[in-house]
Amino acid sequence: MTTTVPTPVGQEVGAATPAARAARPVGATARAVRQTLRRPAVLIALGWLVLVVVTSLLAGPLSPFDPLAQDLGSRLQGPTAAHLLGTDDLGRDLLSRILHGGGVLLLAAVVPVLVSYLLGVPAGLLVGYVGGKADAVADFVVNVLFAIPALVVVLAVSVVTDNNLPIMTVVFGVVVSGGIFRLVRASTQASRDLLYVDAARVSGVTRTTILARHILPNVLGPLIVQGFLLYSGAFLFLTSLSFLGLGFDPQEPSWGQLVFDATAKLDTDPWLMVPIGVVLIATVAALNYVGNALLATLPSSRRARLLTPTRRPVLPVADAHGTGSTAPAPLPAGPGGDEPRLVVEGLVVSFRGEDGRWQPVVDGVSFAVERGRTLCLVGESGCGKTMTALATLGLLPEGGAAAGSVRLGGQELIGLDEKAMARVRGSRIALVSQEPMVALDPCFSVRSQLGDVVRLHRGGSRADVRTRTLDLLRLVGIPNAERVGRSFPHQLSGGMAQRVCIALALAGEPDVLVADEPTTALDPTIQAEILDLLRSLQDSLGLALVLVTHDLGVVADIGDTAAVMYAGQVVELAPVEELLAAPRHPYSRGLLDAMPEDAERGVPLRTVPGVVPLPKDWPTHCRFAARCELATDACRTGPVPIEVVGPDHQSRCIRTAETARGVHPVATGGQS
């Protein structure tokens, strides 16, 4: 293990993304929990619970009277200066009795939670990981447990054991442990097939280590929430027992008993019920409220909230010009001087950082697409291709804002409110995304999802919608539309799912289709079919297509114009044929060199060293300089503007004139 590979000169492959220095990633759940804990209502409920626990702990010092001391002289008083909450029919101080009556319940309710953890967690982990027969046996046992009425069992135990509270709580814990078991088993099954678990198994890591290291941490969040809910259930259950006079020493005060006493006197002395009623209801309500708030932080319930559209923030004027280093280059005029179908000019997309400052991630992008033509956005991951595409649809993720100009058939889209944008989206411009399976809702059949969109855009009778739905499926090359329409997303292959997604996008008859890496997740054979489909749709419907890809082969196949993006900027905009035959920007050349198609076997691929810088690390000079083999000092003096280098051809490089003459870096061992 002592051989080290010589690192070629000037290659900073290893420079790790300086983001998130050694910071432990905060899981989505942890973040959601933290947000929940900041809500005032949750804080109040928590505050109450803390108060109850603390006062119960300090019941002795806090109580003005001995809770058992009788004072027959002051029976059944309402609130007085001496007895703040009054007295009961033996003259005992109610405040003292309430203070003393909670602790034993709060404590006893911990037992069932502990018991179900002790039983449910190991069993769930093991059964979930091993599966097979163990799973079937465990499932049977749990089903039996669920069928047992807890109250009946505990009552029976109370009779048999002569009212022994510890035994009763343990038995209760056993009966309810099925819920914890099922939770742990389900989470374990979900984590069992994760790739990093497979990798650990391949490394020969033992089963116990894998469970403790890789699987248990994933289960922890839901487990804590579930434990809290269980606790609040157990608390209520035990209070009911004590109301029935079971399990708790009738001599000692307990909240259930206080309620029981008050019930007996409800007609004559209703006040007795007020203090204990308020305390009990508040405690149970607080437990439930906090429990449900925590429950809502679990991923399964978070999904629903994704459906509500987020409000789009507006970029302050000062930030709306991005780094302002570059004036938008003049756009090539369309034939006949008409404005092209889609025009993007000086588009800036920014996200607000944790310090409140706006950080541009797309910085002054301009391009235009004609009817029936295809523009490809090309570049490595992290260059801003997807954000550019999403901004044209007003679909930026939360916290993002766009400025500049996006004109669709002459109409300005930047600054439209969400309602107006929703009308434009789908009916005039639509999106096809990279992951067809993610874009489809697993719970509904293809027919019903497609039907919904058709109804939304065109309305019409049920029969009309149905016909149109089947027509759309046939339009995207699905021959057995009836059968595919009835199926659910998980029954479709990747290629078929992408066809369905294209049909969804076409349902509103848009003029412009934005496709974000529509074929990257697919096999070459399926990719070729989808590209054929897009091409034929373009011919028949006159669609303008914006296609995001990192594969110059796809560009050659379907593109008319290509905009090569690097670090948030367009660095070269050219007709595809020209770009591929004679790229003018060193980065475009680097992308071409990385293609293995015609590479010689055994010879390292010539490619661009290093990685795309993060937006916060963009230099003010040429952003490609750190990776460019042609870089000179002049490249590091100031912003490089994009320049027109030929008809319809622009390049953002000060050595463009030389690249035209074929000055390209000699192979200086362009390894890795």
Partner 1 sequence: MTVPGTTSPSSPLLRIADLHVDYKLPGWRTTPLRAVDGVDLTLAEGETLGVVGESGSGKSTIGRALLGLAPVTSGSIELAGHDITHTKAGDRKHIASDLQVVFQDPYGSLNPSRTVGKTLAEPLEAVAGADGSTALAEIRGLLSKVRLPDDAVDRYPNAFSGGQRQRIAIARAMAVNPKLIVCDEAISALDVVTQAQVLNLLRDLQRDTGVAFLFIAHNLPVVSYFSDRVLVLYRGRVMESGPAATIHARPAHPYSQALRAAVPVPDVAAQRVLRRQRQAVVRATTAQARPAPEQGCPFAPRCPHAAEVCWTTRPADTPFEDRVVACHVFDAASGHPQAGGAPDLVAGELAPTAP
Closest CA to 470 of 457, 456, 455, 480: 480
The 10 Å CB-count burial string (b at 16+, else e) for 568-579 is: bbbbbbbbbebb
Q: Tell which one of 69, 141, 148, 581 touches partner 1 (CB under 8 A).
A: 581
Q: Tell which one of 230, 630, 642, 645 touches ligand SF4 (CB under 6 A).
A: 630
Please give the DSSP secondary-structure letter assigned to residue 636.
Answer: G
Please give the DSSP secondary-structure letter assigned to residue 425.
Answer: B
Q: Tell which one of 494, 625, 639, 671 touches ligand SF4 (CB under 6 A).
A: 625
The interface partner of residue 332, options being ligand SF4, partner 1, none and the CB cut-off 5 to 8 Å by kind, is none
Closest CA to 489 of 433, 437, 435: 437
In order, the DSSP letters of 138-194 are: HHHHHHHHHHS-HHHHHHHHHHHTTS-HHHHHHHHHHHHHHHHHHHHHHHHHHHHT-
Strands 643-646 and 649-651: antiparallel
Q: Tell which one of 92, 97, 373, 655 touches ligand SF4 (CB under 6 A).
A: 655
The yes or no reply on residue 80 touching partner 1 (CB under 8 A) is: no
The yes or no reply on residue 640 touching ligand SF4 (CB under 6 A) is: yes
Interface region with partner 1, contact rule CB under 8 A, candidates 59-67, 104-112, 342-350, 526-534:
526-534
Match 């070629």 to its residue by tokens: 8
Q: How far is the CB of 670 from partner 1 (least distance, A)?
A: 8
For residues 576 to 605, the per-residue mask of contacts with ligand SF4, x marking binding by CB under 6 A and - elsewhere, is ----------x-------------------
The pair of structure tokens assigned to 413 is 């889209």
Q: How far is the CB of 544 from ligand SF4 (least distance, A)?
A: 30
In order, the DSSP letters of 436-493 are: HHHHS-TTS-HHHHHHHHHHHHH---HHHHHHHHHHHHHHTT-S-HHHHHHS-GGGS-
Q: Tell which one of 79, 334, 372, 382 touches partner 1 (CB under 8 A).
A: 382
CA distance 11 to 27: 33
Window 179 to 208, contacts with partner 1 (CB under 8 A): 194-196, 198-207
Q: Tell which one of 628, 645, 649, 650 touches ligand SF4 (CB under 6 A).
A: 628
The interface partner of residue 655, options being ligand SF4, partner 1, none and the CB cut-off 5 to 8 Å by kind, is ligand SF4
Match 């570059």 to its residue by tokens: 326
Q: How far is the CB of 301 from ligand SF4 (least distance, A)?
A: 49
The interface partner of residue 445, options being ligand SF4, partner 1, none and the CB cut-off 5 to 8 Å by kind, is none
User: Three-class SS of residue 380?
Assistant: coil
The dihedrals phi and psi of 5, each to the nearest 5 degrees, come to -80, 130
Q: How far is the CB of 429 from partner 1 (least distance, A)?
A: 26
The interface partner of residue 625, options being partner 1, ligand SF4, none and the CB cut-off 5 to 8 Å by kind, is ligand SF4
The interface partner of residue 586, options being partner 1, ligand SF4, none and the CB cut-off 5 to 8 Å by kind, is ligand SF4
Match 């801003």 to its residue by tokens: 384
Window 587 to 626, contacts with partner 1 (CB under 8 A): 590-599, 601, 604-605, 607-609, 611-612
For residues 538 to 577, the per-residue mask of contacts with ligand SF4, x marking binding by CB under 6 A and - elsewhere, is ----------------------------------------
Interface region with ligand SF4, contact rule CB under 6 A, candidates 113-121, 143-151, 412-420, 625-633:
625-633
The yes or no reply on residue 654 touching ligand SF4 (CB under 6 A) is: yes
CA distance 6 to 453: 57
CA distance 495 to 304: 27
The interface partner of residue 194, options being partner 1, ligand SF4, none and the CB cut-off 5 to 8 Å by kind, is partner 1
Q: Tell which one of 375, 393, 453, 622 touches ligand SF4 (CB under 6 A).
A: 622
Residue closer to partner 1 (CB basis): 73 or 596:
596
The interface partner of residue 631, options being ligand SF4, partner 1, none and the CB cut-off 5 to 8 Å by kind, is ligand SF4
Beta strand segments in 370-458, E = 374-378, 400-408, 411-412, 429-432
CA distance 578 to 643: 16
Residues that bind ligand SF4 (CB under 6 A): 586, 622, 624-625, 628, 630-631, 635, 640, 653-655
